[in-house]
Amino acid sequence: MENKKDKLMNITPGQVSELIRGRRSLYPAMYSDKTIAREIIEEILENANWAPTHKMTEPWRFMVFTGEGLKKLAHFQSELYRELSLKEGTYEEKQYHKLKEKPLMCSHIIAIGMHRDPQQRIPEMEEIAATACAVQNMYLTAVAHGIGCYWGTGGITYRKEAKPFFNLGEHDKLLGFFHLGVPVNEEWPRGRRQPVSEKVAWVE
């Protein structure tokens, strides 16, 4: 009799574990000037779309920046930061230039949005969690292709003034930016984790 699992999956538990444990955050300073193929970005987005979602609300929303689009993102976020921080007396020239220059070090940047339907009685935290699961799918797909990536939430991420630029409404949230690039170094960084036994309680 055929094993039912064999019909559903062609990958082994060991392969899944290897992929998950091999996931890393690689920052733009570690990217080359190569451009990621569009079909890989589309696969990353398609896999994000298969994240778990309560009541099938599929709250994740993405905006992809590449080529000239990266310049538009860089200009928008650096100028919005300057405008708001000058009013608040928190402006830092270093941060302004970081927001203006870092996007240009990437092949692609995907803005991560969470769409919130106020008519749905689903706790907001569950919609945020679903979007985070979608980002984890993006991470794993990128790693499987040898693509460097990381999820950053600095700069203008939590500014309500930024939302219209990313086609997000009043009840939506901007949850950061997924940076992608081809690593300049073929050597993958080593991972670091404390033992899982320190974070688990068993009730038997």
Query: Considering the chain, what percentage of its residues have pLDDT values greater than 70?
Result: 96
Q: Please give the pLDDT value at position 8.
A: 65
Residue 140 lies in a domain: yes
pLDDT digits (tens, 9 = 90+) for 19-70: 999 999 999 999 999 999 999 999 999 999 999 999 999 999 999 999 999 9
We report the CATH number of the domain holding residue 137 as 3.40.109.10
In angstroms, the CA 129 to CA 152 distance is 16
Q: Please give the pLDDT value at position 3.
A: 53
pLDDT digits (tens, 9 = 90+) for 159-191: 999 999 999 999 999 999 999 999 998 888 889
Range of the domain at 148: 26-65+107-184
Residue 9 lies in a domain: no
pLDDT digits (tens, 9 = 90+) for 92-107: 999 999 999 999 999 9
**pLDDT band at residue 1 using 50, 70 and 90 as cut-offs:** very low
* Res. 2: pLDDT tops 60: no
Alpha carbon separation from 23 to 10, 32, 86, 145 (Å, rounded):
21, 19, 38, 11
Residue 95 lies in a domain: no
Residue 113 lies in a domain: yes
In angstroms, the CA 47 to CA 137 distance is 6
